[in-house]
C-alpha cells in the first residue's frame, strides 16, 4: 500500500504522508520517500514540493524503534534513513514541511532537512533520542548546533523537551509559525510566487546560500559569478527595459514596486 499521496498543481507537488497508526518512519515509508525524491532529479516543471501529513496528531512521529539495533537489517534501515535526509537536502526543488502535529526525533530531522518549514499551534518539535540511549541519527544535533549555537543546542539535546511552533521559529528549527486557519492562504501566496520561478533560479540561490554558510568568501565569489552570467542574458535585458518603461527607478518604486513588477510581466507576455 502506498504511504504517499501525491498531487500536482501549477508547479507545486503536494505529498501527503499516511503511515498508520502514527506515521512512524518505517523502512517502507523511508524507501517510498527516497524513491519519490530521487524521481525529481531531472524534473523541471515542479518547483516546490510540499510535505504534509494525513494524521490528525502526528506529522512524523520518529524513526521506527524496531530498526535501532545492532542487526545488519537494522543498521541498513538506519543508513537508508540517513540517505533520505541527505536526498531531501539535495533536491533541486524547494522542499516545504507543513507541520500540524508532532514531529520528534527523525520526524523533526525530516522537518529540518526541508528548505522551508511551517508549524501550526498543533505542532511540536523535539530531539529526545538521549532518553533511549542514542544520539540523533539524521543530522538533528548537527542542525541544532548550526541553528541555535552551542548552549541552546546542548540544553535541547540533553533535555529532549518539546518546542511549540513559536519556540521552534525563535530557535530556527522552523521557518515560521502560521496559525492553522491561515496556513492555506499563506502557502498559496508564498509558494505561488516561488512556483513561477524557473528551477535554475531555485538551484542558484540554494547553491549560493549553501556555499556561503560553509565559506563566506567562496559564497561571495559564486554570487558574483552568477550575477555576471545572468547580466549578459537577453532575458535580463528585456525585463530591465520593461521595468524601466513602467516606472522603475522613479518615485513609483517607493510605494508600488510590486505593481511595476506586475506591469513588467504583462509587457513581456505581449
CA distance 81 to 30: 6
Are residues 117 and 95 in contact, defined by beta-carbon separation less than 8 angstroms? no
SS3 48: strand
SS3 255: helix
Beta strands in 130-252 (DSSP E): 176-177
pTM of the entire structure?
Answer: 0.95
CA distance 68 to 78: 7
The 10s digit of each residue's pLDDT in 36-56 is 999 999 999 999 999 999 999
Q: Helix 72-89 crosses helix 27-39 at what angle (to 10 degrees)?
A: 30
Gyration radius of the chain's alpha carbons: 21
Per-residue confidence band for 59, with pLDDT thresholds at 50, 70 and 90: very high
Per-residue confidence band for 270, with pLDDT thresholds at 50, 70 and 90: confident
The 10s digit of each residue's pLDDT in 146-163 is 999 999 999 999 999 999
Amino acid at each position: 500500500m502506498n504511504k504517499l499521496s501525491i498531487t500536482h498543481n501549477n508547479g507545486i507537488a503536494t505529498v501527503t504522508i499516511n503511515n498508520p497508526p502514527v506515521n512512524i518512519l518505517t523502512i517502507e515509508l523511508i524507501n517510498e520517500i527516497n524513491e519519490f525524491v530521487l524521481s525529481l532529479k531531472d524534473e523541471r516543471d515542479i518547483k516546490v514540493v510540499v510535505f504534509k501529513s494525513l494524521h490528525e496528531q502526528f506529522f512524523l512521529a520518529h524513526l521506527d524503534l524496531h530498526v535501532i539495533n545492532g542487526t545488519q537489517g537494522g543498521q541498513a534501515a538506519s543508513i537508508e534513513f540517513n540517505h533520505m535526509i541527505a536526498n531531501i537536502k539535495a533536491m533541486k526543488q524547494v522542499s516545504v514541511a507543513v507541520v500540524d502535529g508532532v514531529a520528534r526525533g527523525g520526524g523533526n530531522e525530516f522537518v529540518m532537512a526541508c528548505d522551508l518549514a511551517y508549524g501550526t499551534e498543533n505542532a511540536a518539535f523535539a530531539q529526545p533520542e538521549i532518553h533511549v540511549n542514542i544520539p540523533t541519527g539524521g543530522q538533528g544535533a548537527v542542525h541544532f548546533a548550526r541553528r541555535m549555537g552551542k548552549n541552546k543546542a546542548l540544553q535541547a539535546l540533553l533535555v529532549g523537551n518539546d518546542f511549540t511552533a513559536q519556540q521552534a521559529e525563535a530557535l530556527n528549527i522552523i521557518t515560521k509559525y502560521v496559525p492553522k486557519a491561515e496556513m492555506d492562504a499563506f502557502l498559496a501566496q508564498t509558494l505561488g510566487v516561488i512556483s513561477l520561478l524557473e528551477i535554475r533560479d531555485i538551484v542558484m540561490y540554494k547553491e549560493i546560500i549553501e556555499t556561503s554558510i560553509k565559506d563566506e568568501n567562496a559564497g561571495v565569489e559564486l554570487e558574483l559569478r552568477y550575477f555576471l552570467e545572468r547580466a549578459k542574458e537577453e532575458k535580463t535585458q528585456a525585463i530591465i527595459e520593461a521595468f524601466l518603461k513602467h516606472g522603475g527607478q522613479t518615485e513609483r518604486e517607493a510605494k508600488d514596486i510590486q505593481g511595476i513588477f506586475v506591469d513588467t510581466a504583462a509587457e513581456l507576455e505581449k
